[in-house]
Amino acid sequence: MRFHLRFIFILSVLLFCFGSLAYRILDLAYFSQGYYKVFINAARTAKEVKGAIRGQIRDRKDAVLATTAIKIDVGVDPYVIDPSKNQEKIAQLAALLGNTTEDMAAEFFKRETFVHAGKERRLRWRKMATIDNNDLYEKIKTLGIKGVYGNRRIERIYPNHELASHVIGFINKEGVAVCGVERFMDDFLRGQDGWIESEKDGKRTEVALFRKIVIEPKNGSNIVLTIDLRIQEIAEQTLQQAMDELKAKWGSIIISDPNTGQILALCNAPTFDCNAFNKVPIENLRNRAITDLYEPGSTFKIVPISIALQHKLISSSQYFDCTQETFHYQNKKYNLPKDHALLGRLTTVDVLRKSSNRGAAQIGIILGAKNLYEGVRNFGFGEKTGYGFDGEASGLLSKPKYWDHLTITRLPIGHAISATPLQVHQAMGVIASGGYLLEPKIILRILDDKEEVIIEPEPHVIRKVLRRDIANNLREILHNPDSSSSVLNRVKLAYKTGTTQKLIDGTYSREHHIASCSGFFPAEDPQFLVTVVLDDPVPEHGGIAYGSRVAYPLFATIAKALISSYGLSQ
């Protein structure tokens, strides 16, 4: 009886064990197949991402402004390598890396620890060198030194350092496009990563025979800018010299083709090196030409005078009494702003050439609030220029219903309005282009990785602002034949300077100014449009930093260089 019970017990245990095993097999094979298949495939599948190469940024003549390089950081795990057993190979490694065997053994193979989260840990990797030669890395690998290996990384390189930095922008340490063309054109530049999906063996090595998917990466497009590196260098050298001599807080220079709106140079100071963007104050990264607002002052006088001539409310030969402190018009009395000197009776032409505040204010009164406001808007003030980059300011231009009794006399002289340097530049471009407001262009063309053209933007006319005869008339006025500085190397210059008192604690300061100059040349057939703005420059011998005194010389320096370089004096 006892034997039968023991037999039944053993049989029951065996049946239970084999039954459980059979159930487990059935569970793995059928019931839970889908669940475990995920883990099995993950263990067997090898997926390798093939990174796309970011496209280049170039100037209009194909000089490289930004490019991508593959770097290899070669390092060692000092807790794996045994220098005493690899002396010959270490000597070969040192020779390949341009080092000495003694220095390498002393510096890179010493074992160190560090404290992390309260625990002492081993330093398991020490970088020995960074190389960009894949053949050299292959030679290092063939040495077969255990513990020596490299990590590949993609690095963005800006070969011209500070040159055109505010236009180009940069990629930060996390690989994110932060500003400039890098950010604005990021969708084109970054391309599309590819990948390889295959199987791995037990040693985690790819079995190429069982590759399932091979998607080749699509490298990023190359962006060709309207910037001319040669002209950009002229602008930056001129601006930096002025910053050093005049101790200005900041400055901007813009140079463009007035017939197409293409920007040939754009620079700001202080500036930064795109390769070392994190080593400068954050305000140096601002593209002040499109972000910073200021009252344009006398450079703005081209606007009310052009509008009044366009509406036929005044003529070029009409006289204005600039000795008066008040002006009576349509049964109203208006207080006029002061002039920098007693200018007497002036024609419209001389109001602009002698930069009379009182004359410009009278013209603004004759125009009326509605015509003045609409005309100023037509010139592009109070709205973005179309430059397209993040951070561009629209400027400040109030509607007439918000004006006080002084605005009608202050707006015509460039007060009661705030604009960016690029807006002032664009407004002067209306005169230079023959009456058209053009959208500033910074992208000349976009090429795929095979150098085929994808996009080539055409010049874009936002609107027609002035009749051609009015624009031609203003060209003649802005070229002052009585001025000794209006002809350079037989080329006629057309320009307007401006000096604006800065607002300090709500009061216009007599010691702090923004000086500017905007103009074009040759006056009769404009090829270059140049705008210079300096914030708070300090003249060498003291006195007021008039635009004619500190900003015009920069305009003239640039004009002289471009006239000589492009043979305009012939």
Distance, C-alpha 105 to centroid of its chain: 45
Contacts of 220 (CB under 8 A, 6+ apart): 52, 53, 54, 55, 188, 189, 190, 191, 449
What pLDDT sits at residue 183? Answer: 94
Per domain, the residue ranges of the chain are 229-565
pLDDT of residue 19: 74
Q: What is the reported pLDDT for 33?
A: 61
Q: Could you read off the pLDDT of 24-63 as tens digits, one per residue?
A: 777 666 666 666 565 555 555 656 666 788 999 999 999 9
Chain segment 363-416, per-residue pLDDT in tens: 999 999 999 999 999 999 999 999 988 889 999 999 999 999 999 999 999 999
Query: What residue type is 153 in one-letter code?
Result: R
Determine phi and psi for 420, rounding to 5 degrees. Answer: -90, 160
The larger pLDDT score, comparing residue 180 to residue 86, is at 180
Q: CB within 8 A of 39, min separation 6: which ones?
A: none
Token representation of residue 199: 């199987």
Q: Could you please state the CATH topology (level 3) that the domain comprising 229-565 is classified under.
A: Beta-lactamase (3.40.710)
Residue 48 has a pLDDT of 62
Residue 146 pLDDT? 77
Query: What pLDDT score was predicted for residue 100?
Result: 72
User: In b/e form, how buried is each residue of 14-33, taking b as 16+ CB within 10 angstroms?
Assistant: eeeeeeeeeeeeeeeeeeee
Please write the tens of the pLDDT for every residue from 544-556. 899 999 999 999 9
Mean pLDDT across 284-304: 96
Would you call 75 helix, strand, or coil by DSSP? strand
Instruction: Name the band, by pLDDT with cuts 50, 70 and 90, for residue 532.
Output: very high
Q: Is the pLDDT of residue 116 over 90?
A: no
Question: Which position has the higher pLDDT, 318 or 34?
Answer: 318
Mean pLDDT along residues 13-19: 77
Least confident stretch, 38-52, 80-94, 434-448, 464-478: 38-52
Report the greatest alpha carbon distance in the chain: 140
Contacts of 295 (CB under 8 A, 6+ apart): 414, 415, 416, 417, 418, 419, 500, 514
pLDDT at 1: 57
Q: What is the pLDDT of residue 210?
A: 55
DSSP class of 276: G
**Taking residues 96-101, what's their average pLDDT?**
75
pLDDT tier at 503 (50, 70, 90 boundaries)? confident
pLDDT digits (tens, 9 = 90+) for 181-199: 999 999 999 888 776 666 6
Q: What is the DSSP string of 91-149?
A: HHHHHHHT--HHHHHHHTS---EEEETTEEEE---EEEEEE--HHHHHHHHHT--TTEE
Q: Which of 356, 362, 355, 314 is nearest to 335 (CA)?
A: 362
Q: Which of 394, 165, 184 is nearest to 287 (CA)?
A: 165
The pLDDT of residue 90: 76
Mean pLDDT in the chain? 88
- Which structure tokens are listed for 260? 């197409």
* Res 200: pLDDT: 62
Tell me, what's the pLDDT at 480?
A: 87
